[in-house]
Amino acid sequence: MSVQRKHLVKEFNHFITCYVCKGYLIKPTTVTECLHTFCKSCIVQHFEDSNDCPKCGIQVHETNPLEMLRLDNTLEEIIFKLVPGLREREQQQEIEFWKKNRSKENGEDDGPKSKKPRVDEENEQDADQDYHRSDPQIAICLDCLRNNGQMGENIVKGLMKKFIRCSTRVTVGTIKKFLSLKLKLPSSYELDVLCNGEIMGKDHTMEFIYMTRWRLRGENAYPMVLEYRPRIDFG
């Protein structure tokens, strides 16, 4: 029986650390022009002073390099799995950051007299914040796919407004829920979401599909077209 070799996290540091801050990649964000990846905060701050990639020096965009950034959620999950406790530390720091900034905005004192909010109150406050508003956005066309009279498709009509704009972090599962609500599908029906004729997994993000499945990347890349088709769920 073969013995599995254990790997140390430091063996992967070259792939999961940021070139700018030298720490682990937090909200890994890739420059689409050269595919170099940095912490989101690091690369956004860098682009305030320069339009060039900090690693290779290529000009990312003449006027707005932020348009050429894409979040890499898959890499983020890999890093969180490789580095024990990193996700929890980042979440705690984010909570503390927002608590501190809310206190300043409301003119509150951060001293010992301030009442510590309950966990459920923190969650409610965090839910009010639209963290995805600052994410890179993507334009999508949701087109109904007719499939030679397949059972169930007669109840599905195309959307009146089939063009949407959403965060690149939105998953196919969320798109399916959106379509089901808009089309008022019975619970017995499921939807397949396809890109270039290939069924997409429910956990695939729009960024992942655009980077790996959408064939028209470039000047005519937008909007990215996703097709949907109904099927009866016999499960």
Predicted local distance difference test score (pLDDT) of residue 139: 86
Q: What pLDDT does residue 121 have?
A: 47
User: What pLDDT band is residue 120 in, cutting at 50, 70 and 90?
Assistant: very low
Cα(158)–Cα(145) distance, rounded to whole angstroms? 9
**Cβ-based neighbours of 165, under 8 Å, separated by 6 or more:** 137, 138, 139, 140
Mean pLDDT over all residues of the chain?
A: 78
At residue 138, the pLDDT reads: 85
Q: Which two tokens stand for residue 173?
A: 């599962």
Q: Comparing C-alpha atoms, which of 167, 143, 161 is closest to residue 225?
A: 143
Lowest mean pLDDT among 4-18, 52-66, 152-166, 198-212: 152-166
Long-range Cβ contacts of 86-94 (<8 Å, 24+ apart): 86/24, 90/26
Tens of pLDDT, residue by residue over 28-79, are 999 998 999 999 999 999 998 899 999 999 999 888 888 888 989 889 988 9
Q: Distance (Å, rounded) from C-alpha 175 to C-alpha 162?
A: 12
| Residue 174 binned pLDDT confidence (cut-offs 50, 70, 90) | very high
The label of the residue with tokens 């070259």 reads 14
At 60, which amino acid appears?
Answer: V
Q: Report the pLDDT value the prediction gives residue 6, as an integer from 0 to 100.
A: 74
C-alpha distance from residue 116 to each of 5, 96, 120 (Å): 46, 11, 12
Interatomic CA distance for residues 87 and 195, integer angstroms: 31
189, 123 contact by CB (below 8 A) = no
φ, ψ (nearest 5 deg) of residue 39 = -60, 145
The percent of residues in the chain predicted with pLDDT above 90, rounded, is: 20
Output Rg (C-alpha) for the chain, integer angstroms: 22
Of 101 and 2, the structure prediction assigns the larger pLDDT to 101
The residue ranking higher by pLDDT, 133 or 16, is 16
Per the model's pLDDT, the better-predicted residue between 96 and 34 turns out to be 34
- Cα dihedral 46, 48, 49, 51 sign: positive
Q: Which of these ranges, 132-141, 158-167, 192-201, has the smallest mean pLDDT?
A: 132-141
Q: What are phi and psi of 203, to 5 degrees?
A: -95, 0
User: For residue range 9-33, what is the model confidence (pLDDT) as tens digits?
Assistant: 778 888 889 999 999 999 999 999 8
How far is the CA of 94 from the CAs of 1, 75, 88, 170, 193, in angstroms? 46, 19, 10, 21, 34
pLDDT of residue 148: 47
Examine the pLDDT at 146 and tell me if it is beyond 60: yes
**Rounded mean pLDDT of 197-204?**
89
Rounded to an integer, what distance in angstroms lies between the CA atom of residue 191 and that of residue 228? Answer: 6
Q: Identify the pLDDT of residue 114.
A: 44
Please measure the distance between the N-terminal and C-terminal CA atoms of the chain and give it in whole angstroms: 39
Question: What's the confidence (pLDDT) of residue 132?
Answer: 56
